[in-house]
Amino acid sequence: MLKNDPVALIREKALWMRRTAFTMVHRARAGHPGGDFSATDIMATLYFGVMKYDAKRPDWADRDRFIMSKGHATGALYSALAAAGYFPEDWLPTYMQPRSLLNGHPNRNYLPGIETNTGPLGHGFPVAVGIAIAGQLTGASYRTYVLTGDGEQQEGSNWEAAMLSGHRKLVNLTLIIDRNRLQQGTGTEETSGLDPLDEKYRAFGWEVVEVDGHDPAALLAVLGAAPGDKPRCVIANTVKGKGVSFMENVASWHHGVPNDDQYAQAMKELV
Amino acid sequence: MAHAAPVAAGMADCREAWVKTLIEVAEADPRVVCVVNDSVGSSKLNAFQKQFPDRLINVGIAEQLMVGVGAGLANGGKVPFVSAASCFLTSRSLEQVKADVAYANFNVKLVGQSSGIAYGELGATHHSIEDFAWLRPLTTITTIVPADPWETAEAVKWAAAHEGPVYLRLSRMPVPNLDVPDRKFQPGKAEVVRQGDDVTIIACGTTVHLAVQAADALKAEGIAARVLNFSTINPLDEAALHAAAATGAIVTVEEAGVRGGLGGAVSEFTAANTPVPVEKVGFPGFLPTGSTEWLFKEFGLSPEGIADAARRALARKKG
Ligand SMILES: Cc1ncc(C[n+]2csc(CCOP(=O)(O)OP(=O)(O)O)c2C)c(N)n1
Ligand SMILES: [Mg+2]
C-alpha cells in the first residue's frame, strides 16, 4: 500500500527516523539532534524514494553514493542506514557506547553504507567531487549526493570543490545544503553571512534549485530529476529541530540532550 | 557535542580560569583580541564577548581563515588569542600554524580547547592527540599544557605578556588544583610535584593529578616516585630530564598519542644523552568509540595504569 504512495512511505520512514534518532541521543546523553531533524526528510527521501542501492551489497560499484558531509548528524544517518537495511536496528542503542560501531561521527571502517569518514566540516563535499570524477572517468551510471550544513559552507574547502565541479561539469553530482540558517552558536547570517547562496553557486557554474526541505513531494521531484548539463545544488530550506516544538529554531539544540520530560514530550509530538 | 562531565567537589573545569584571566588581561591591555570559529560557547567566551563585543572576531566555521586572520591581527599590532577546539585548530589549520604563525613568527596565541580526548565518543576526528607531534617541530612556538586552574590562569597571563607565538593546550576535563607549596609559574621549567629518587613520572595537563595518585600508591609499596608537572612541552626542560634520567627509570604520561608527544620528546632526549628505560602512557593511535572517562581507564591513564607503568620501568632499571 505504502509502496504505491512514495510520499507516504517517506513520511513514515522520516517519522521513525526522528523518533529513533532522539531515542539514541537521549540514551547516549550526547549527539546533535537539531541537525538530525533538519536533515531527516531529505535523507528519508534519498533512501526511500531516490537512490539506487542494495543494502546487502554495500560495495556494489554502481550504487548511488550518499555522503553525509555534516557528519555530526549521525542520529539521522544511522537511523536511515538501519531503516534501509544496512545493519540491524538493534545496533542503534549502542550509539556512542564503548567500542560501538556507531561512533559519534561516521566511520566507513565500522559500518556498511558509509562512503567516507566525516566529522570535521568541509570534508565530505571534496570527497564527493572525487567520487563524481571517478564516475565520469569510468562512464559509470551512479549518481553522487552530498549533504552539507549551511554553517559548514563557511569552510573554504567547499568553495574549492564548487569551483572544480562547475569547471568539470559534474552533472552526476548533487549537492544538498541543509539551509536551516543556524550553526553551532547562532545564526549563519549573524556569523559570516551566506546569502545570496543561490547566486554564489550559479556564479560557480551550478544549476541551483530551492526547495522546502520538509516537503517529501517537492524533494522527490528535485532530487529525483534527471541530471542536467551542470552539477546541481539543491538549497533545502529547513528548520533546525524540525518536528519538536521546543527544539525548532533553537540554536542550543544543536548538541542539546533531552532530559526525561523533554524526551517524553518529544515522543508525544513525533506521531 | 558531548557534554562535559559534571564537575565533582574539589575539581574544576580550567576553562573558567581561562576566560576569567583573559578578561583581566584584556581589561589591562587593549591590544588583546579573540578569534574564534563558531566556538564562543565551547571556548566559554560568552562573558568576554559580552564585555568586549568588538574584540571577539568570529570568523565562522573556517579554521584556516581563523589562524590566518590571527597572524594578520598580530601584524596590525593586536595580541590575538585564537581559540578553538584543539582538534580543528591544530589539524585543519596546520599549514597556517606552521607558515603564518611559527615561520612568520607572529605574536599569536593559539588556544586549543577541549584538547586530548575531551570529546570522547565523538571519535578520532574530534580527538586532539596528535597536536604535540605536529607542533613540536615548530620550535618558535612555546607549547604549554596547564595541569590545573591555577596554572591555566598563570599561563594565560604569561602568554599575553610574552612576545612570540604560544600554544596553550587547555582542557575542560575537571581537575583539582595541585598541592604544591609556594608555586611560581616558570615556562620552560618542570615543576616537582612529588619528591622521589626511584623512578620519575613525567606528566602533563590532565594526567598530573593521576600521576600524583600513582606516586602515593607506589609509596605504600616503598617506591619513591618523583612526579614532574612537565607543562612546557616546547622548549624542553633539559636539566629536569637529566635529573630524571639519574633516577634510572622514567614514565611519561599524557592525554595524547605516545608517538611524537611528551613521551616521544623525553625518549628522544634521553636516548641521545642519558639512555634510560622509558615507559610511555598515552594513546597508541585512533581510539575506539567511548566516553572520555572510559577511554582514560581503558588505555591506562589512571592511577593504577601509571603505577603499573612505573613498576615496568623499575623492572627494567639497571643496577
Ligand atoms: C572543521 C570543523 N570545525 C568546527 C566543528 C564543530 N562543529 C560541529 S557542527 C558545527 C555547526 C554546524 O552548523 P551547520 O553546518 O549549519 O550544521 P547543522 O545546522 O545542519 O547542524 C560546528 C561548528 C567541526 N565539526 N568541524
Ligand atoms: Mg545549519
Domain topology for A2-269: Rossmann fold (3.40.50)
Average pLDDT, chain B: 96
Q: Which residues on adjacent β-strands are paired with residue A259?
A: none
User: pLDDT by residue (tens digit) across B73-94?
Assistant: 999 999 999 999 999 999 999 9
Predicted local distance difference test score (pLDDT) of residue A3: 59
3-class DSSP state for residue B167?
strand
A59, A129, B50, B206 from B190: Cα distances, Å: 53, 49, 36, 15
**Tally of CA atoms within 13 A in the half-sphere of B282 that contains its CB:** 31
Residue B127's pLDDT is: 98
Residues B273-295, mean pLDDT to the nearest whole number: 97
User: What average pLDDT does range B268-290 have in this prediction?
Assistant: 97
Is A96's CB within 8 Å of B61's CB?
no
Give the ligand whose atoms come closest to the C-alpha of residue A39: 1
What is the DSSP secondary structure assignment for residue A6, as one 8-state letter? H
Q: Is the pLDDT of residue B319 over 70?
A: no
Ligand 1 contacts CB of residue B16 (under 6 A): no
Query: What is the number of the ligand closest to the CA of A72?
Result: 1
Q: Is the pLDDT of residue A238 over 60?
A: yes
Name residue B203's amino acid: A
pLDDT in tens, B20-33: 999 999 999 999 99
Which residue is closest in CA terms to ligand 1's atom 19? A183
- Residue A114 has what pLDDT? 98
d(CA B227, CA B67): 35
Q: How far is A4 from chain B (nearest CA, A)?
A: 39
Centre of ligand 2 from the C-alpha of residue B59, in Å: 16
Burial class (CB in 10 A: 0-12, 13-18, 19+), A201: buried
Is any ligand 1 atom within 6 A of the Cβ of residue A149?
yes
Render pLDDT for A184-198 as a digit per residue (tens, 0 to 9): 999 999 999 999 999
A99 → closest Cβ in B91, B126, B290:
B290
Distances (CA, A) of B60 to A151, A153, A187, B17: 8, 9, 10, 25
Residue A254 Cα to ligand 1 midpoint, Å, equals 9
What is the least distance, in Å, from the CA of A61 to any CA of chain B? 27
pLDDT grade for B10, boundaries at 50, 70 and 90: confident
Q: Which residues of A fall within a CB distance of 8 Å from B1?
A: 30, 32, 72, 255
User: Nearest CB to B289: which of A96, A117, A155?
Assistant: A96
**pLDDT above 60: residue B2:** no
Position B6 pLDDT exceeds 80:
no
pLDDT at position B33 = 98
Give the domain B14-169 fold. Rossmann fold (3.40.50)
Alpha carbon A190 to chain centroid, angstroms: 24
Option in A72, A103, A257 nearest B3 (CB): A257
| Sequence-ordered alpha helix ranges (H) in B107-171 | 131-135, 149-161
- Does residue A185's CB lie within 6 angstroms of at least one atom of ligand 1? no
Specify the residue with its C-alpha closest to ligand 1, atom 7: A184
Closest CA to B116 of B288, B308, B296, B304: B296
Yes or no: is domain B191-315 CATH 3.40.50.920? yes
Nearest-Cα residue of chain B relative to residue A193: B60
pLDDT at A4: 82
Q: Is A153 in the pocket of ligand 1 (CB under 6 A)?
A: no
Q: Judged by CB atoms within 8 Å, which residues 101-120 of B form the interface with A?
A: 119
Confidence of residue B1 (pLDDT cuts 50, 70, 90): very low
Which residues from A are below 8 Å from B125, CB to CB? 71, 105, 117-120
- Whether B180 shows a pLDDT value over 70: the answer reads yes
Say if the Cβ atoms of B3 and A29 lie within 8 Å.
Answer: yes
Q: How far apart are the first and last CA of chain A?
A: 20
Helix (H) or strand (E) holding A190: helix A188-191
Q: Which of A71, A119, A156 sits opposite B62 (nearest CB)?
A: A156
Instruction: List the single best residue of A72, A105, A108 to mutate versus B (max B Cβ within 10 A).
Output: A105
Average pLDDT, stretch B40-67? 95
**Mean pLDDT (whole number) for B274-290:** 98
Percent of chain A with pLDDT over 70: 99
Would you call B62 and A154 a contact, using CB atoms and an 8 Å cutoff?
A: yes
Q: pLDDT-derived band of residue B4, with 50, 70 and 90 as boundaries?
A: low
Residue A42 CB partners (closer than 8 Å, separation 6+):
A147, A176, A178, A213, A219, A223, A236, A238
Question: Which residue is it, cell 620552560?
Answer: B188
Distance from A127 to chain B by nearest Cα, in Å?
Answer: 16
Q: Sign of the CA dihedral B11, B130, B124, A191?
A: positive
Q: How many angstroms is it from A183 CA to the middle of ligand 1?
A: 6
**A154 and A184 Cβ atoms separated by less than 8 Å:** no
pLDDT band (50, 70, 90) for residue B3? low
How far B259 CA lies from chain A's nearest CA (Å)?
22
> Domain ranges in chain B?
14-169, 191-315
ipTM over 0.85: yes
Domain spans, chain A: 2-269
Which residue in the block uniquely carries the three cell numbers 526528510? A41
Please say if the pLDDT value at position B277 is more than 70. Answer: yes
Domains B14-169 and B191-315 agree in fold: yes
- Residue B318 — very low, low, confident or very high, per pLDDT cuts 50/70/90? confident
